[in-house]
Each structure stands twice: as structure tokens, then as C-alpha cells.
Amino acid sequence: MTPTLIWTLVALIAIGLYLSWTAGRLDRLHARIDASRAALDAQLLRRASVAQELATSGVLDPAASIVLYEAAHAARQAEEEQREVAESELTQALRAVFAETPQVETVREAPGGVEAVRELTEAVRRVPMARRFHNDSVRAARALRRHRKVRWFRLAGHAPFPLAFEMDDEPPVALLDRAA
């Protein structure tokens, strides 16, 4: 064998190993996106469930109960295309209902209210973290998928292009003030 053939073979093997490593990394990123999306979905469902439970508890005034219940129900029943909007509307309903500290205090004074406020506070704190983790995973996968080598060699396979989950997730200030 000639040295040129050997070096060509070594270069092809090195390129193949590099492409294989890149494809494996992309696959791991896609798995991380799937896991982070499942965690985000669980946190969104938990938040909607706690809000719906609080709305039907009879602790809130009727208008606040209706607003919160409808927003939570819409968030739980939303189709995938409308999910971001429905979750943002639930966030806005939570901010409207718990805009002031006296409303939080009213809920706390009711039987089981301390536990309900604690659960809701935990839920509204976890949603932004889960969304941030998911969107960071999406950003990393998108950055890798933009490289020429990934596009040219189709290393992403048939995996759909990852989409970030954009929603309004700013928690009600009155809930966080009291919990701190």
C-alpha cells in the first residue's frame, strides 16, 4: 500500500468517526429535548390542576373563581398549536386573581389554604425553570443542526426541527412576596 492510500484511509476513518460522534451528540440533544418537554408538560399540568382545584374550592370570590377555572381548564384542554397561548392566559389569570396580597391572605385563612397557596407557589415557580431548561436544550440542538456538516450529511435524520416553548410565565408577585 502506498502512503497516500493509507493517509486517505486514515482521514476517511477520522471523518467518519467525527460524523458519528456528531450524530450521537445530536441524538442525545434530541433525547434531552424530549425529556425536558415531558418535564415542562408535567409542570404545566400541575400548575393548571392546582389552579383549577383552588378555583373550585370556594375560597375565592365567584368572579375570580370563574376566571381562574376557565383559564386552567382551557390550558389543560388546549391542542398543541394553542398550548402556548392557553398557558399564557392561565399565567395572566393567576396574576389577575393574585394581584394583591390580601387575596393571598384570604386563601391562606381558609381551611387548607396554607397548603393550597404553598402548592400554587411551588407550581408557578417551577414552570419558568422547566421552560428555561427546555428552551436551552432546544437552543443547543438548533445550534448544532445549523452546522453545514449536519445539513450536508443529514445527521439529524427525520427528526423534526426543535421548537422552543414561548409563553408568559411571570408568576404573581403577591404569591412570591408572601412565600419568601
Please spell the DSSP secondary structure of 74-129, one letter per residue: HHHH--GGGHHHHHHHHHHHHHHHTSSHHHHHHHHHSTTHHHHHHHHHHHHHHHHH
SS3 call for 110: coil
> What average pLDDT does the structure give for the chain?
93
Average pLDDT on 128-133 reads 98
d(CA 34, CA 32): 5
Cβ atoms within 10 Å, residue 173: 13
Decide if pLDDT at 74 tops 50.
yes
Query: Which range, 33-37, 105-109, 150-154, has the best average confidence (pLDDT)?
Result: 33-37
Decide if pLDDT at 180 tops 50.
no
Q: Determine contact, residues 102/73, Cβ cutoff 8 Å.
A: no
Grid cell listed for 127: 414552570
